[in-house]
Structure 1
Amino acid sequence: MIKRNSSLLCIILLILTTFTGANICLANAAEPPSIIIIVPNAPQDLEISIDNMQASRTEKAFESYFSFYSYSFQAVEYTLTVTDGSDVFEIELDSPLKEYNNIYTLDLDKRVLSEGESPSRDILLITIRIALTLLLEALVFFLFGYRQKISWIIFLTVNLVTQGVLFIWLNSLYTSPLSGDFYIILTMIFAEILIFIVEMTVFLIFIKEHRRLRTAGYVVVANLLSLILGGYLITVLPI
Protein backbone atom coordinates (compact mmCIF):
# COMPACT_ATOMS: atom_id res chain seq x y z
CA MET A 1 0.00 0.00 0.00
CA ILE A 2 2.81 2.39 0.93
CA LYS A 3 4.67 1.53 -2.26
CA ARG A 4 1.56 2.17 -4.36
CA ASN A 5 0.92 5.52 -2.65
CA SER A 6 4.54 6.56 -3.17
CA SER A 7 4.29 5.72 -6.85
CA LEU A 8 1.08 7.74 -7.12
CA LEU A 9 2.74 10.73 -5.44
CA CYS A 10 5.66 10.57 -7.88
CA ILE A 11 3.27 10.42 -10.85
CA ILE A 12 1.31 13.46 -9.64
CA LEU A 13 4.45 15.52 -9.09
CA LEU A 14 5.77 14.45 -12.49
CA ILE A 15 2.56 15.68 -14.11
CA LEU A 16 3.07 19.04 -12.41
CA THR A 17 6.60 19.40 -13.77
CA THR A 18 5.39 18.46 -17.24
CA PHE A 19 2.65 21.09 -17.23
CA THR A 20 4.87 23.84 -15.89
CA GLY A 21 7.52 23.00 -18.44
CA ALA A 22 5.25 24.30 -21.18
CA ASN A 23 5.84 27.82 -22.50
CA ILE A 24 3.21 30.52 -22.28
CA CYS A 25 2.92 33.03 -25.10
CA LEU A 26 2.59 35.89 -22.62
CA ALA A 27 6.26 35.48 -21.73
CA ASN A 28 7.30 37.44 -24.81
CA ALA A 29 4.48 39.95 -24.73
CA ALA A 30 6.76 42.78 -23.65
CA GLU A 31 9.89 43.12 -25.81
CA PRO A 32 12.91 43.88 -23.64
CA PRO A 33 15.62 46.43 -24.40
CA SER A 34 18.51 45.37 -26.62
CA ILE A 35 21.11 45.76 -23.87
CA ILE A 36 20.53 45.42 -20.13
CA ILE A 37 23.39 45.83 -17.70
CA ILE A 38 22.80 44.54 -14.17
CA VAL A 39 24.77 46.34 -11.48
CA PRO A 40 24.38 45.03 -7.91
CA ASN A 41 24.39 47.70 -5.20
CA ALA A 42 25.08 50.48 -7.69
CA PRO A 43 25.80 53.94 -6.25
CA GLN A 44 23.21 56.61 -6.96
CA ASP A 45 25.55 58.68 -9.13
CA LEU A 46 26.53 55.77 -11.39
CA GLU A 47 25.95 56.44 -15.09
CA ILE A 48 26.52 54.24 -18.14
CA SER A 49 26.52 55.46 -21.71
CA ILE A 50 27.33 54.33 -25.25
CA ASP A 51 28.57 57.00 -27.66
CA ASN A 52 27.04 59.74 -25.50
CA MET A 53 23.71 57.87 -25.32
CA GLN A 54 22.71 57.66 -21.68
CA ALA A 55 21.26 54.40 -20.39
CA SER A 56 17.89 54.53 -18.67
CA ARG A 57 18.13 53.34 -15.09
CA THR A 58 15.66 51.14 -13.20
CA GLU A 59 15.93 50.09 -9.56
CA LYS A 60 14.68 46.92 -7.93
CA ALA A 61 15.76 45.91 -4.44
CA PHE A 62 19.56 45.62 -4.40
CA GLU A 63 20.00 45.78 -8.18
CA SER A 64 20.09 48.56 -10.76
CA TYR A 65 19.40 47.99 -14.45
CA PHE A 66 20.93 50.19 -17.13
CA SER A 67 19.15 49.64 -20.43
CA PHE A 68 19.63 50.70 -24.03
CA TYR A 69 16.97 50.19 -26.68
CA SER A 70 17.51 48.75 -30.14
CA TYR A 71 16.59 51.90 -32.05
CA SER A 72 19.47 53.72 -30.35
CA PHE A 73 22.23 51.79 -32.10
CA GLN A 74 24.00 52.25 -35.38
CA ALA A 75 27.37 50.50 -35.02
CA VAL A 76 28.21 46.81 -34.63
CA GLU A 77 30.71 47.15 -31.78
CA TYR A 78 30.11 49.27 -28.71
CA THR A 79 32.14 50.84 -25.94
CA LEU A 80 30.52 51.38 -22.58
CA THR A 81 31.51 54.47 -20.67
CA VAL A 82 30.97 54.00 -16.95
CA THR A 83 30.94 57.09 -14.75
CA ASP A 84 31.04 56.65 -10.99
CA GLY A 85 31.32 60.13 -9.55
CA SER A 86 34.70 61.44 -10.67
CA ASP A 87 35.85 57.96 -11.72
CA VAL A 88 35.40 57.18 -15.42
CA PHE A 89 36.39 54.01 -17.28
CA GLU A 90 35.48 52.21 -20.49
CA ILE A 91 34.57 48.60 -21.30
CA GLU A 92 34.38 47.08 -24.77
CA LEU A 93 31.41 44.91 -25.77
CA ASP A 94 33.18 42.21 -27.75
CA SER A 95 30.38 39.73 -28.42
CA PRO A 96 27.83 40.49 -31.16
CA LEU A 97 24.40 41.55 -29.99
CA LYS A 98 21.40 39.27 -30.18
CA GLU A 99 18.05 40.50 -31.45
CA TYR A 100 16.35 40.80 -28.07
CA ASN A 101 17.96 40.05 -24.73
CA ASN A 102 21.56 41.14 -24.37
CA ILE A 103 22.10 40.88 -20.65
CA TYR A 104 25.37 41.67 -18.89
CA THR A 105 26.44 41.91 -15.27
CA LEU A 106 28.87 44.63 -14.23
CA ASP A 107 31.19 44.06 -11.29
CA LEU A 108 31.87 47.67 -10.45
CA ASP A 109 34.71 46.95 -8.02
CA LYS A 110 36.63 44.75 -10.47
CA ARG A 111 35.49 46.71 -13.53
CA VAL A 112 34.53 43.46 -15.22
CA LEU A 113 31.53 43.05 -17.52
CA SER A 114 30.26 39.47 -17.78
CA GLU A 115 27.72 38.21 -20.27
CA GLY A 116 24.47 36.98 -18.76
CA GLU A 117 23.35 36.82 -15.15
CA SER A 118 25.45 35.43 -12.35
CA PRO A 119 24.43 31.83 -11.47
CA SER A 120 24.80 32.67 -7.78
CA ARG A 121 22.31 35.51 -8.28
CA ASP A 122 19.68 33.14 -9.69
CA ILE A 123 20.27 30.60 -6.93
CA LEU A 124 19.97 33.29 -4.25
CA LEU A 125 16.73 34.75 -5.62
CA ILE A 126 15.09 31.34 -6.12
CA THR A 127 16.16 30.26 -2.62
CA ILE A 128 14.72 33.42 -1.04
CA ARG A 129 11.38 32.93 -2.78
CA ILE A 130 11.15 29.24 -1.89
CA ALA A 131 12.19 29.84 1.73
CA LEU A 132 9.69 32.65 2.34
CA THR A 133 6.84 30.75 0.67
CA LEU A 134 7.69 27.58 2.59
CA LEU A 135 7.77 29.46 5.90
CA LEU A 136 4.36 30.99 5.21
CA GLU A 137 2.74 27.70 4.22
CA ALA A 138 4.40 25.90 7.15
CA LEU A 139 2.89 28.44 9.54
CA VAL A 140 -0.55 27.88 8.03
CA PHE A 141 -0.04 24.11 8.19
CA PHE A 142 0.88 24.37 11.87
CA LEU A 143 -2.08 26.64 12.67
CA PHE A 144 -4.41 24.11 11.07
CA GLY A 145 -3.24 21.65 13.72
CA TYR A 146 -0.93 19.29 11.85
CA ARG A 147 1.67 17.77 14.15
CA GLN A 148 2.38 14.22 12.96
CA LYS A 149 5.77 13.54 11.43
CA ILE A 150 4.34 11.87 8.33
CA SER A 151 2.12 14.89 7.66
CA TRP A 152 5.12 17.21 7.77
CA ILE A 153 7.19 14.93 5.54
CA ILE A 154 4.43 15.01 2.93
CA PHE A 155 4.06 18.77 3.36
CA LEU A 156 7.79 19.43 2.88
CA THR A 157 8.13 17.04 -0.05
CA VAL A 158 5.19 18.44 -1.97
CA ASN A 159 5.97 22.10 -1.30
CA LEU A 160 9.67 21.84 -2.04
CA VAL A 161 8.87 20.23 -5.38
CA THR A 162 5.98 22.52 -6.36
CA GLN A 163 7.55 25.79 -5.25
CA GLY A 164 10.96 24.79 -6.57
CA VAL A 165 9.54 23.93 -9.99
CA LEU A 166 7.45 27.12 -10.02
CA PHE A 167 10.26 29.57 -9.30
CA ILE A 168 12.88 27.79 -11.40
CA TRP A 169 10.39 27.75 -14.27
CA LEU A 170 9.56 31.46 -13.89
CA ASN A 171 13.26 32.28 -13.72
CA SER A 172 13.97 30.37 -16.94
CA LEU A 173 10.85 31.65 -18.72
CA TYR A 174 11.43 35.33 -18.02
CA THR A 175 15.09 35.76 -18.87
CA SER A 176 15.04 39.56 -18.81
CA PRO A 177 15.23 41.26 -15.40
CA LEU A 178 12.99 43.97 -16.88
CA SER A 179 10.17 41.59 -17.79
CA GLY A 180 6.88 43.22 -16.84
CA ASP A 181 5.59 42.29 -13.39
CA PHE A 182 2.06 41.99 -14.78
CA TYR A 183 3.00 39.22 -17.20
CA ILE A 184 5.00 37.34 -14.58
CA ILE A 185 2.16 37.50 -12.06
CA LEU A 186 -0.32 36.38 -14.72
CA THR A 187 1.88 33.40 -15.52
CA MET A 188 2.27 32.63 -11.83
CA ILE A 189 -1.51 32.60 -11.36
CA PHE A 190 -1.79 29.98 -14.10
CA ALA A 191 0.93 27.89 -12.46
CA GLU A 192 -0.60 28.29 -9.00
CA ILE A 193 -3.88 26.84 -10.29
CA LEU A 194 -1.99 23.71 -11.33
CA ILE A 195 -0.18 23.64 -7.99
CA PHE A 196 -3.49 24.00 -6.17
CA ILE A 197 -4.92 21.00 -8.02
CA VAL A 198 -1.82 18.90 -7.34
CA GLU A 199 -1.62 19.82 -3.66
CA MET A 200 -5.33 19.28 -3.09
CA THR A 201 -5.09 15.84 -4.68
CA VAL A 202 -1.92 14.78 -2.88
CA PHE A 203 -2.91 16.07 0.56
CA LEU A 204 -6.39 14.56 0.46
CA ILE A 205 -4.95 11.19 -0.53
CA PHE A 206 -1.91 11.01 1.73
CA ILE A 207 -2.57 13.13 4.83
CA LYS A 208 -4.80 11.27 7.28
CA GLU A 209 -4.16 13.24 10.47
CA HIS A 210 -7.40 15.25 10.29
CA ARG A 211 -10.66 15.18 8.39
CA ARG A 212 -10.55 15.81 4.66
CA LEU A 213 -12.51 19.04 5.06
CA ARG A 214 -9.80 20.54 7.26
CA THR A 215 -7.11 19.41 4.84
CA ALA A 216 -8.97 20.96 1.92
CA GLY A 217 -9.37 24.17 3.91
CA TYR A 218 -5.64 24.28 4.55
CA VAL A 219 -4.84 23.86 0.85
CA VAL A 220 -7.20 26.69 -0.11
CA VAL A 221 -5.87 29.12 2.52
CA ALA A 222 -2.20 28.22 2.01
CA ASN A 223 -2.34 28.58 -1.76
CA LEU A 224 -4.22 31.86 -1.59
CA LEU A 225 -1.66 33.33 0.81
CA SER A 226 1.17 31.85 -1.24
CA LEU A 227 -0.20 33.54 -4.37
CA ILE A 228 -0.41 36.90 -2.60
CA LEU A 229 3.11 36.55 -1.22
CA GLY A 230 4.48 35.39 -4.57
CA GLY A 231 2.92 38.35 -6.36
CA TYR A 232 4.35 40.73 -3.79
CA LEU A 233 7.84 39.22 -4.08
CA ILE A 234 7.71 39.63 -7.85
CA THR A 235 7.14 43.36 -7.42
CA VAL A 236 9.94 43.89 -4.88
CA LEU A 237 12.62 41.33 -5.77
CA PRO A 238 14.55 40.95 -9.03
CA ILE A 239 13.44 38.15 -11.32
Structure 2
Amino acid sequence: MIRFRNAGKAFRSRRNKRELVWPLRHFTATIVQGESTAILSPNDSDKTTLIDLVAGTETLTEGEIVRTGHISWPASFRGMINPRMTARQNLRFLTDAYGHDFGAAYEFVHDFTELGRQMDQIVRQCTNEQRHRLAIAMLLAMNFEFILVDETFEAGDMNFRRKVTQFIDDNQDRITFFMATNNARLAERYCQRAGILVDGTVTFFDTMTEAVAEFRRYRKEDF
Protein backbone atom coordinates (compact mmCIF):
# COMPACT_ATOMS: atom_id res chain seq x y z
CA MET A 1 0.00 0.00 0.00
CA ILE A 2 1.07 3.57 -0.74
CA ARG A 3 -0.98 6.13 1.17
CA PHE A 4 -0.76 9.89 0.68
CA ARG A 5 -2.16 12.05 3.46
CA ASN A 6 -2.47 15.74 2.54
CA ALA A 7 0.90 15.38 0.79
CA GLY A 8 2.57 18.43 -0.66
CA LYS A 9 5.93 19.43 -2.09
CA ALA A 10 7.17 22.97 -2.65
CA PHE A 11 10.23 24.45 -4.34
CA ARG A 12 11.56 27.98 -4.42
CA SER A 13 10.63 29.78 -7.61
CA ARG A 14 13.56 30.44 -9.92
CA ARG A 15 12.17 33.88 -10.73
CA ASN A 16 11.40 34.91 -7.15
CA LYS A 17 13.15 33.12 -4.30
CA ARG A 18 10.47 34.29 -1.87
CA GLU A 19 7.77 32.56 -3.89
CA LEU A 20 6.95 28.86 -3.48
CA VAL A 21 5.96 26.65 -6.41
CA TRP A 22 3.85 23.60 -5.52
CA PRO A 23 4.06 20.74 -8.07
CA LEU A 24 1.91 18.74 -5.64
CA ARG A 25 -0.36 19.90 -2.82
CA HIS A 26 -3.20 18.58 -0.65
CA PHE A 27 -2.89 15.14 -2.23
CA THR A 28 -4.75 12.40 -0.38
CA ALA A 29 -5.07 8.96 -1.97
CA THR A 30 -4.42 5.28 -1.33
CA ILE A 31 -2.77 3.03 -3.89
CA VAL A 32 -3.66 -0.55 -3.05
CA GLN A 33 -2.07 -3.73 -4.32
CA GLY A 34 -3.89 -5.10 -7.33
CA GLU A 35 -5.11 -1.72 -8.64
CA SER A 36 -2.45 -0.16 -10.85
CA THR A 37 -2.76 3.61 -10.85
CA ALA A 38 -1.57 6.27 -13.28
CA ILE A 39 -1.18 9.97 -12.63
CA LEU A 40 -1.37 11.74 -15.98
CA SER A 41 0.40 15.08 -16.23
CA PRO A 42 1.74 17.20 -19.11
CA ASN A 43 4.52 18.58 -16.90
CA ASP A 44 7.67 16.43 -16.82
CA SER A 45 9.06 17.90 -13.59
CA ASP A 46 5.78 17.38 -11.72
CA LYS A 47 5.69 13.71 -12.72
CA THR A 48 9.27 13.14 -11.64
CA THR A 49 8.69 14.88 -8.31
CA LEU A 50 5.72 12.64 -7.51
CA ILE A 51 7.64 9.42 -8.20
CA ASP A 52 10.71 10.69 -6.34
CA LEU A 53 8.54 11.39 -3.29
CA VAL A 54 7.28 7.80 -3.24
CA ALA A 55 10.80 6.47 -3.82
CA GLY A 56 12.10 8.57 -0.93
CA THR A 57 14.63 10.55 -2.96
CA GLU A 58 12.59 13.73 -2.34
CA THR A 59 11.06 14.79 0.98
CA LEU A 60 7.61 16.24 1.52
CA THR A 61 7.05 19.85 2.49
CA GLU A 62 3.79 18.93 4.19
CA GLY A 63 1.69 15.84 4.89
CA GLU A 64 2.97 12.27 4.82
CA ILE A 65 3.36 9.16 2.69
CA VAL A 66 2.88 5.75 4.29
CA ARG A 67 4.44 2.83 2.44
CA THR A 68 3.97 -0.87 3.06
CA GLY A 69 5.00 -3.77 0.87
CA HIS A 70 7.91 -4.26 -1.50
CA ILE A 71 8.28 -1.05 -3.56
CA SER A 72 10.71 -0.70 -6.48
CA TRP A 73 13.10 2.05 -7.37
CA PRO A 74 11.81 4.21 -10.30
CA ALA A 75 11.93 2.13 -13.48
CA SER A 76 13.72 4.92 -15.37
CA PHE A 77 16.46 5.19 -12.72
CA ARG A 78 19.71 3.74 -14.06
CA GLY A 79 21.74 4.43 -10.93
CA MET A 80 21.02 0.93 -9.62
CA ILE A 81 23.43 -0.44 -12.22
CA ASN A 82 27.15 0.28 -11.84
CA PRO A 83 28.62 0.66 -15.36
CA ARG A 84 32.06 -0.40 -14.10
CA MET A 85 30.76 -3.81 -13.01
CA THR A 86 29.50 -6.74 -15.04
CA ALA A 87 25.81 -7.57 -15.26
CA ARG A 88 26.45 -10.61 -13.08
CA GLN A 89 28.19 -8.51 -10.41
CA ASN A 90 25.41 -5.91 -10.46
CA LEU A 91 22.80 -8.60 -10.03
CA ARG A 92 24.75 -10.16 -7.16
CA PHE A 93 24.76 -6.78 -5.40
CA LEU A 94 21.01 -6.28 -5.89
CA THR A 95 20.03 -9.76 -4.74
CA ASP A 96 22.17 -9.36 -1.63
CA ALA A 97 20.64 -5.93 -0.93
CA TYR A 98 17.04 -7.08 -1.44
CA GLY A 99 17.41 -10.54 0.04
CA HIS A 100 16.73 -12.58 -3.10
CA ASP A 101 18.22 -15.84 -4.32
CA PHE A 102 21.01 -15.00 -6.76
CA GLY A 103 20.74 -18.23 -8.73
CA ALA A 104 17.05 -17.80 -9.52
CA ALA A 105 17.47 -14.11 -10.34
CA TYR A 106 20.46 -14.78 -12.59
CA GLU A 107 18.61 -17.47 -14.53
CA PHE A 108 15.67 -15.11 -15.04
CA VAL A 109 17.78 -12.12 -16.17
CA HIS A 110 20.01 -14.27 -18.40
CA ASP A 111 17.02 -15.80 -20.18
CA PHE A 112 14.91 -12.63 -20.27
CA THR A 113 17.62 -10.37 -21.73
CA GLU A 114 19.19 -13.00 -23.99
CA LEU A 115 22.57 -11.37 -23.28
CA GLY A 116 24.40 -14.68 -23.08
CA ARG A 117 28.12 -14.24 -22.41
CA GLN A 118 27.64 -10.49 -22.16
CA MET A 119 26.34 -11.06 -18.65
CA ASP A 120 30.05 -11.19 -17.76
CA GLN A 121 30.94 -8.08 -19.74
CA ILE A 122 31.47 -4.66 -18.15
CA VAL A 123 28.12 -2.87 -18.45
CA ARG A 124 29.57 0.31 -19.94
CA GLN A 125 30.77 -1.80 -22.88
CA CYS A 126 27.19 -2.82 -23.66
CA THR A 127 25.00 -0.95 -26.13
CA ASN A 128 22.27 1.38 -24.86
CA GLU A 129 19.64 -1.12 -25.97
CA GLN A 130 21.35 -3.90 -24.01
CA ARG A 131 21.52 -1.69 -20.92
CA HIS A 132 17.81 -0.95 -21.19
CA ARG A 133 17.04 -4.66 -21.37
CA LEU A 134 19.28 -5.33 -18.40
CA ALA A 135 17.72 -2.57 -16.28
CA ILE A 136 14.15 -3.76 -16.89
CA ALA A 137 15.01 -7.43 -16.37
CA MET A 138 16.83 -6.73 -13.09
CA LEU A 139 13.88 -4.73 -11.81
CA LEU A 140 11.44 -7.52 -12.69
CA ALA A 141 13.73 -10.12 -11.11
CA MET A 142 13.37 -8.44 -7.70
CA ASN A 143 9.68 -9.45 -7.50
CA PHE A 144 8.49 -6.03 -6.34
CA GLU A 145 4.84 -5.72 -5.32
CA PHE A 146 4.73 -2.09 -6.49
CA ILE A 147 6.66 -0.85 -9.53
CA LEU A 148 7.25 2.90 -9.78
CA VAL A 149 7.23 4.28 -13.32
CA ASP A 150 8.34 7.80 -14.21
CA GLU A 151 7.13 8.47 -17.76
CA THR A 152 7.65 5.08 -19.44
CA PHE A 153 8.24 1.41 -18.82
CA GLU A 154 9.00 0.55 -22.42
CA ALA A 155 12.59 -0.10 -23.47
CA GLY A 156 14.51 -2.20 -25.95
CA ASP A 157 13.49 -3.43 -29.38
CA MET A 158 9.99 -4.54 -30.32
CA ASN A 159 10.63 -8.19 -29.47
CA PHE A 160 11.83 -7.26 -25.98
CA ARG A 161 8.85 -4.95 -25.45
CA ARG A 162 6.50 -7.77 -26.35
CA LYS A 163 8.31 -10.01 -23.88
CA VAL A 164 7.89 -7.43 -21.11
CA THR A 165 4.20 -6.99 -21.91
CA GLN A 166 3.66 -10.75 -21.83
CA PHE A 167 5.48 -11.05 -18.50
CA ILE A 168 3.31 -8.34 -16.96
CA ASP A 169 0.13 -9.93 -18.33
CA ASP A 170 1.18 -13.27 -16.84
CA ASN A 171 1.93 -11.69 -13.45
CA GLN A 172 -0.93 -9.21 -13.06
CA ASP A 173 -1.93 -10.85 -9.80
CA ARG A 174 1.29 -9.77 -8.08
CA ILE A 175 2.47 -6.61 -9.89
CA THR A 176 0.92 -3.21 -9.18
CA PHE A 177 2.07 -0.12 -11.06
CA PHE A 178 2.14 3.42 -9.74
CA MET A 179 3.11 5.58 -12.68
CA ALA A 180 3.33 9.27 -13.47
CA THR A 181 3.28 9.85 -17.21
CA ASN A 182 1.98 11.90 -20.12
CA ASN A 183 1.64 8.70 -22.15
CA ALA A 184 -2.09 7.96 -22.05
CA ARG A 185 -1.66 4.80 -24.11
CA LEU A 186 0.79 3.39 -21.58
CA ALA A 187 -1.59 4.21 -18.73
CA GLU A 188 -4.48 2.49 -20.50
CA ARG A 189 -2.34 -0.57 -21.17
CA TYR A 190 -1.22 -1.20 -17.60
CA CYS A 191 -3.53 0.65 -15.20
CA GLN A 192 -7.08 0.34 -13.87
CA ARG A 193 -7.30 3.79 -12.27
CA ALA A 194 -6.10 7.26 -13.22
CA GLY A 195 -5.99 10.84 -12.10
CA ILE A 196 -4.79 14.04 -13.77
CA LEU A 197 -2.18 16.28 -12.14
CA VAL A 198 -2.42 19.95 -13.12
CA ASP A 199 -1.05 22.91 -11.15
CA GLY A 200 -0.32 20.73 -8.14
CA THR A 201 -3.80 19.21 -7.86
CA VAL A 202 -4.71 15.60 -8.69
CA THR A 203 -8.24 14.85 -9.86
CA PHE A 204 -9.33 11.21 -10.07
CA PHE A 205 -12.01 9.89 -12.42
CA ASP A 206 -14.52 7.05 -12.14
CA THR A 207 -13.06 5.14 -15.09
CA MET A 208 -9.83 4.96 -17.08
CA THR A 209 -11.79 5.90 -20.20
CA GLU A 210 -12.98 9.16 -18.61
CA ALA A 211 -9.52 10.03 -17.29
CA VAL A 212 -7.77 9.41 -20.61
CA ALA A 213 -10.42 11.30 -22.60
CA GLU A 214 -10.19 14.30 -20.28
CA PHE A 215 -6.39 14.27 -20.38
CA ARG A 216 -6.32 14.16 -24.17
CA ARG A 217 -8.85 16.99 -24.31
CA TYR A 218 -6.76 19.02 -21.87
CA ARG A 219 -3.56 18.50 -23.86
CA LYS A 220 -5.28 19.42 -27.12
CA GLU A 221 -6.55 22.67 -25.60
CA ASP A 222 -3.18 23.34 -23.97
CA PHE A 223 -1.35 23.18 -27.28
| TM bin (shorter chain) | under 0.3
Which structure has more helix as a fraction of its residues?
1
| TM-score of the pair, normalised by structure 1 | 0.24
| TM-score of the pair, normalised by structure 2 | 0.25
Structure possessing the higher relative contact order (Cα contacts under 8 Å, 6 or more residues apart): 2
